Amino acid sequence: MIGKAIKGKGARGLLEYLLNGERASIIGGTLAGITPRDMAAEIGAIRRLRPKMGKAILHLPLSAHPQDKTLSDQNWSDICNFVAHGLGYEGCPMKFIRHNDTDHDHVHMVICRINAQGQAISDSNDYRRIETLLREVERQYHLHRVEQPGAGSKRKHQKETHMNTTDKTQNLQDDAYEPAPSMVADPVQGIPVIDLPVVAMTMMQPEPRHSSKRAADAYRRERRRELMTPQYSEAMREAFGVSLHNIHQHTGGAVLYFDKPKAIRDNGTSVTAHHMSHQEAAQMLVRMAKVKKWKSVTFTGHPDFVRAAMLEALKTGMTVEPADAMQAGVLDTVKEQLRVESVTLTGKPVQPSQLAAFRERRREQGNLDPNYIPPQHHTPSRRFG
**Which residues contact residue 216 at a Cβ distance below 8 angstroms, ignoring those fewer than 6 apart?**
207, 210
Across the chain, which has 385 residues, the per-10-residue mean pLDDT values are: 90 90 85 86 88 92 88 89 89 89 84 89 88 89 72 41 32 28 32 35 73 82 88 93 87 83 86 87 92 89 87 91 84 84 53 62 55 43 36
What residue ranges do the domains of the chain occupy? 2-194, 200-297, 324-385
d(CA 302, CA 84): 14
Burial class (CB in 10 A: 0-12, 13-18, 19+), 219: middle
pLDDT at 361: 62
Separation in Å, CA 114 to CA 10, 33, 249, 260: 13, 18, 18, 19
pTM: 0.44
| Per-residue pLDDT, 345 | 47
What distances in angstroms separate CA 184 from CA 15, 264, 330, one per listed residue? 32, 28, 25
**CATH label, 2-194, candidates 1.10.3720.10, 3.10.300.10, 3.30.930.30, 3.30.300.30:** 3.30.930.30
- Per-residue pLDDT at 336: 84
CA distance 249 to 143: 46
Cα–Cα nearest to 101, from 19, 162, 29: 19
Contact between residue 82 and residue 181 where contact means Cβ atoms under 8 Å apart: yes
CATH topology of domain 200-297: TATA-Binding Protein (3.30.310)
Q: E-strand spans in 47-114?
A: 57-63, 94-99, 106-112
Q: Which of 184, 204, 208, 210 is nearest to 196 (CA)?
A: 184
Summarised one tens digit per residue, pLDDT across range 212-255 is 878 888 888 888 888 888 899 999 999 999 999 988 887 678 88
